[in-house]
Amino acid sequence: MLYVGIDLGTSAVKLLLMDGEGKIQKIVSREYPLYFPHPGWSEQKPEDWYEQVMDGMKELIAEADKSKVAGISFGGQMHGLVILDKEDQVIRPAILWNDGRTYEECDYLNNVIGKEKLSEYTANISFTGFTAPKILWVKNKEPENFKKIVKIMLPKDYIAYKLTGVNCTDVSDASGMLLMDVKNRRWSKEMCEICGISEEMLPKLYESYECVGTVKPEIARELGIPETVKVAAGAGDNAAAAVGTGTVGDGMCNISLGTSGTIFISSEKFGVDKNNALHAFAHADGHYHLMGCMLSAASCNKWWMDEIIGTSDYGAEQKKIGVLGENHVYFLPYLMGERSPHNNPNARGTFIGMTMDTTRADMTQAVLEGVAFALRDSFEVAKSLGIKIERTKICGGGAKSPLWKKMIANILNLKVDVIESEEGPALGGAMLAAVACGEYKNVEEAAAKIVRIVDTVEPEEELVKKYDERYQQFRQIYPACKPLFDIIK
């Protein structure tokens, strides 16, 4: 049988067709616009997502035996707020995960309601990207739109709703809304009251691998697939990427170098760090995970290459980089503010340490190293909880760079396992669909049979030592700059 994984990203949707043995048959991508109506705002039109998903799906299965398509599932950009009215029409453009407008609402949640209460209700504190403060923002700044809300959903769940007519979400994606009692995998009544919404507005909660329904007859006709095609709930992009890299079960790690950057640690047990510096979320395998998320990762390199030095040949720029572990230039990668572990929407990208002999290659190297150092910030929090990690998988666009993988291996002192397919969330979505259809008995079995390691980047003792010295300097830069970030707006 055939399974479709839909990775609804920030810049594009990637659709992947996988057979029952885990072999990828075809991949299709479709881009859609991103809107920045005000500084720090980030929006998209859900209608654009759906249009490109349907268009991409037609190309994806054009040459396949459509009668063998058995299941569809998702990985999706997290935290985005999609609101529908009583006519099922989108009320306003979706407010995305990297949108920083909700600083007043976050301040209210963290300091008036209180971080301790939020952690008690949801296992997390408020970050500007989360969904609950976005709901409060609409309530406070767009009261007419707030009054129209009948359904609240996340980005990938809008696609599931259009395909099935079921208002559903999964526990991993819902964990990032600040509306879910993560430990008990249910909606938090207290958070609904705080946000002024009813639980009826929220989607029904499912495990990521559970079937939520089948495609609507008109969708089946338009795509030429059977009406029996099952749709599984899917997962937030990071949990889906973890499934796609085999980061399931206890004590596994995955680093994602996409538009955002994450360090993802799977666990069979629920746990929260005392400062809520890491997100404590439900995982797509039925258990839990800790996650540190930085808002700008591979996007820092894209910004530096495209906008600042004006080149599309990223590889050529990296070839100019010579010795590692001795760069005197540092870069704070906070181009969209920062989430883990600083939780500061006012943080900004910063270069420091340049001299008259600083080269273009030094600056490029600083950007790549800055992202790796910032990932280590979150990794250090995990280590403080007694979590011992010796190796990690890696995925995302940035993972295609051998140099960046080497930096990460040595800056975090981890063995970095490279997998055969770096398709992350799209592959994870297809695997969840396969589990929902009974192809595999659970997510762990699917990961064990499908995910293959093809290379490992080992840390080098001398380079680890050099980078540790650099990291100790790097970690002092943010505290020194923080007072400036609070006044530079």
For position 89, what pLDDT does the model report? 98
Is 173 a catalytic site residue? no
Q: Name the residue with tokens 């929220």.
A: 202
Strand residues in 154-210 grouped as ranges (E) = 168-170, 180-181, 186-187, 204-206
- Supply φ then ψ for residue 263, to 5 degrees: -120, 125
The 3-class secondary structure across 226-272, one letter per residue, is: CCCCEEECCEEHHHHHHHHCCCCCCCCEEEEECCCEEEEEEECCCCC
Residue of 237, 285, 362, 377 marked active site: 237
b or e along 199-226 (b: 16 or more beta carbons within 10 Å of the residue's beta carbon)?
eebbbebbbbbbbbbbbbeebbeebebe
Question: Could you check whether the bond before residue 93 is cis, i.e. omega within 30 degrees of 0?
Answer: no
List the chain residues with pLDDT less than 70.
489
- Supply φ then ψ for residue 409, to 5 degrees: -60, -40
78 is in an annotated binding site: yes
d(CA 246, CA 125) in angstroms, rounded, equals: 28
* Nearest CA among 369, 150, 375, 359 for reference residue 255: 375
The pairing of strands 391-395 and 415-419 is parallel
H helices of 385-460, in order, are 402-411, 424-436, 443-450
Adjacent-strand bridge partners of 148: none
342 is in an annotated binding site: no
d(CA 459, CA 59) in angstroms, rounded, equals: 42
d(CA 77, CA 98) in angstroms, rounded, equals: 10
Residue-wise DSSP of 261-308: EEEEEEESS----TT--SEEEE-TTSSEEEEEEES-SHHHHHIIIIII
- Full set of structural domains in the chain with CATH: 2-238 (3.30.420.40)
For position 423, what pLDDT does the model report? 82
Q: Name the residue with tokens 């790097």.
A: 474
State the greatest distance between any 2 C-alpha atoms of the chain, in Å, as a whole number: 67
The gap between the terminal CA atoms of the chain, to the nearest Å, is: 54
Q: Tell me the HSE value of 447 on the side-chain side, using a 13 A CA sphere.
A: 23
- Residues 6 or more apart whose CB falls under 8 angstroms from that of 179 comprise 122, 131, 132, 187, 188, 191, 192, 195, 202
**Phi-psi group of 30: left, alpha or beta (phi > 0 → left; psi -120 to 50 → alpha; rest → beta):** beta
The DSSP output letter for 424 is H
3-state secondary structure of 464: helix
Name the pTM for this structure. 0.88
* Nearest CA among 124, 413, 114 for reference residue 288: 124
Adjacent-strand bridge partners of 279: 291
For position 210, what pLDDT does the model report? 98
Q: Using an 8 Å Cβ cutoff, are 304 and 363 in contact?
A: yes
* Nearest CA among 329, 324, 296, 300 for reference residue 314: 300
